[in-house]
Amino acid sequence: MKIALLGYGKMGKMIEEIIQREGKHEVNLKVTSANRSNITSSLLKNSDVAIDFSSPNAVEKNITLCLDAVVPLVIGTTGWYDDLEKVKSLCEEKNGALIYASNFSIGVNIFFELNKKLAELMKHRNEYEPRITEIHHAQKKDSPSGTAISLARDILQSSAIKKQWVNHEKAMSDEVVILSRREGTIVGTHRIEYRSAVDRIEITHEAFSREGFAQGAITAAEWIRDKKGFYEFREIILNDTRFT
């Protein structure tokens, strides 16, 4: 399978490293900030699938180019979800194939399910206050992380009290706090805490390297290659034998 890498930062380089090591696929196109303006849908047609770990301001153009080229697209970039419904409509209109995730780690997607279950159990436990803490390396551009936002949305969906999330320490009674910390070279830690006056419940996911994110994106690329439609990775990961 020929893979186009749309974005060649830390994640793009890790994906290429795994592809070269495993020898099952090849990277036939690398899009960087230097050559981004030269990329066309005609050029992308030489690829079987594209993987996007670029930036929020580049992802919309990448989506359009891939749909025009009829190239399935895996999107790991976050920060563009305000346009989610517009992109979904465009994908359906073009009869394209797209799968996205705030995090392609298998472990994180299992963590999403644990968070949803815990949030449901705590739905009417008003004595417990939920809080999310996310810690990443100092170079991470977005804050809070896309993963933390996904976790917060699942809590909000179950909560009878909480209506929105905020990215600061102080919050109103109907807000879920997300605390963001940027430290050194930390790959990624996400912590969900429910605290009462007498105890605390906590679940945590800690990533040791980016390889889990990259391997998940490659597996998603293998899955989407022969598909049509608009998918979220977390919707299929627990229901498809390729991911178990």
105 backbone dihedrals φ, ψ, rounded to 5°: -70, 130
Q: 75: alpha, beta or left, given left = phi > 0 and alpha = psi -120 to 50?
A: beta
The one catalytic residue among 136, 162, 190, 205: 136
Q: Is 90 exposed, middle or buried (0-12, 13-18, 19+ CB in 10 A)?
A: middle
Pairwise CA distance, residues 224 & 72, whole Å: 6
Q: Is 5 exposed, middle or buried (0-12, 13-18, 19+ CB in 10 A)?
A: buried
Pairwise CA distance, residues 244 & 237, whole Å: 8
Instruction: Identify whether 140 is a catalytic site residue.
Output: yes
The one catalytic residue among 10, 30, 94, 140: 140
Across the beta sheet with 229-232, the strand order is 26-31, 2-6, 49-52, 73-75, 97-100, 229-232
**Dihedral, CA of residue 8, residue 216, residue 242 and residue 79, to nearest 10:** -90
Pairwise CA distance, residues 155 & 116, whole Å: 7
Q: What value does the CA radius of gyration of the chain take, rounded to a whole number of Å?
A: 19
| CB contact set of 217 (below 8 Å; sequence gap of 6+) | 11, 15, 51, 53, 74, 76, 104
Instruction: Identify whether 170 is a catalytic site residue.
Output: no
Show which residues are catalytic.
136, 140
